[in-house]
Amino acid sequence: MKAIVQDRYGSPDVLALREVDQPVPGDHEVLVRVEAASLNARDWHIMRGDPYLARLSAGLRAPEPKIRGTDFAGRVVAAGRAVTRLRPGDEVYGEHPGAFAEYVCAPDDVVDTKPANLTFEEAAAVPLAGITALMGLRDAKVGPETRVVVNGASGGVGTFAVQIAKSLGADVTAVCSTRNIELVRSLGADHIIDYTRDDFTRDRHRYDVVFDLVGNRPLGRLRRAATPAGTVILSGGGVSEGGSLIGPMGLIVKGMLLARFVRQRLHVLSARPGTADLAALRELIEAGVLVPVVDRTYPLSKTPEAVRYLEEEHARAKVIVTP
């Protein structure tokens, strides 16, 4: 099968389209023919081995597995002996390394039935970003009238966060640039702050939940934007210059160290894939309250170009590749 493979860390130039062996599903796995895959910041962080600390778990010289990509949507072509929930022919979506390929093998507990009203491209946009948004808002106990600000509202995670927060009844402020105002308005944001003109961490408004997806503000300023008993969700972010030891993790480490000494809740988000959250997202999507936003679609052979675009950190929601 064809797959996007890398043998060393580096820029998108290290990504090569190659013929590799098709994976064989284990007892608890399904083999999926990938119809579409989506890109996430995670993919380029692993591709570059940036921050360096991430190489301790991903591999010292090159990342393992060598095939990039995480989010996928497609059709089950084979299921392991212990898999009872899914069978060949099922249209599914899920999250597992190795998605930039014609086939991916994934444990059945990270794969679920694809929302019926989405194309494969739209479905592939959902898993990692959708689960991150869902988990963040759930951990912060967002509900009716919670005042939530989403910094990075036009990105992959942000576009889901705005819509899910609205579906929970929250009062949502979206922070984005001028060109994305109409997009976040169409997703249901109640208030919009254009970051090219105003700084949400410096004005008089205070929020019950500050959901930070950009990492471009110091922790003290994010805390200032939250109420005295509010929650600051730290998800990573932070435009890395590359080649640093902890890169965007600096903000997270500070948050973890300070968390036990302050009244505000400083919550470090670590999204995990799972069928329960994929099912919850499917329900919202099929009910019409959650719509994935796709910015661009590239053929698999142009994955390096797609990653280069995502790395600029100005993609409008999700970028897709199709085999």
Ligand X SMILES: NC(=O)c1ccc[n+]([C@@H]2O[C@H](COP(=O)([O-])OP(=O)(O)OC[C@H]3O[C@@H](n4cnc5c(N)ncnc54)[C@H](OP(=O)(O)O)[C@@H]3O)[C@@H](O)[C@H]2O)c1
Summarize as ranges the residues that interact with ligand X (CB under 6 A). 40-41, 128-129, 132, 151-152, 154-158, 175-177, 179-180, 195, 213-214, 216, 235-237, 269-271, 310, 313-316
Q: Which is nearer to ligand X, 281 or 310 (CB)?
A: 310
Q: Which is nearer to ligand X, 76 or 150 (CB)?
A: 150
Q: Which is nearer to ligand X, 3 or 157 (CB)?
A: 157
Q: How far is the CB of 183 from ligand X (least distance, A)?
A: 9
Q: Which is nearer to ligand X, 6 or 216 (CB)?
A: 216
* Cis? peptide before 323, omega within 30° of 0: no
Q: How far is the CB of 169 from ligand X (least distance, A)?
A: 23
Distances (CA, A) of 301 to 2, 290, 306: 9, 30, 10
Tokens standing for residue 56 = 């301790």
Q: How far is the CB of 195 from ligand X (least distance, A)?
A: 4
Q: How far is the CB of 317 from ligand X (least distance, A)?
A: 7
Is 130:159 a contact under the CB 8 Å cutoff?
no
Q: How far is the CB of 82 from ligand X (least distance, A)?
A: 28
Q: Which is nearer to ligand X, 90 or 311 (CB)?
A: 311
Q: How far is the CB of 128 from ligand X (least distance, A)?
A: 6
Query: What's the CA gap between 104 and 30, in Å, rounded?
Result: 8
CB nearest ligand X: which residue? 155
- Return the DSSP state at 67: B
Query: What's the CA gap between 238 and 203, in Å, rounded?
Result: 21
Q: How far is the CB of 107 from ligand X (least distance, A)?
A: 19
Query: What's the CA gap between 274 and 104, in Å, rounded?
Result: 17
Query: What's the CA gap between 10 and 102, in Å, rounded?
Result: 23
Quote the distance between the C-alpha of residue 91 and its chain's center.
21
Q: Which is nearer to ligand X, 42 or 147 (CB)?
A: 42
Is 156:40 a contact under the CB 8 Å cutoff?
yes
Cα torsion 231, 236, 241, 243 to 10°: value is: 130
Q: Which is nearer to ligand X, 139 or 171 (CB)?
A: 139
Identify the CA nearest to 134 among candidates 281, 232, 294, 233.
281
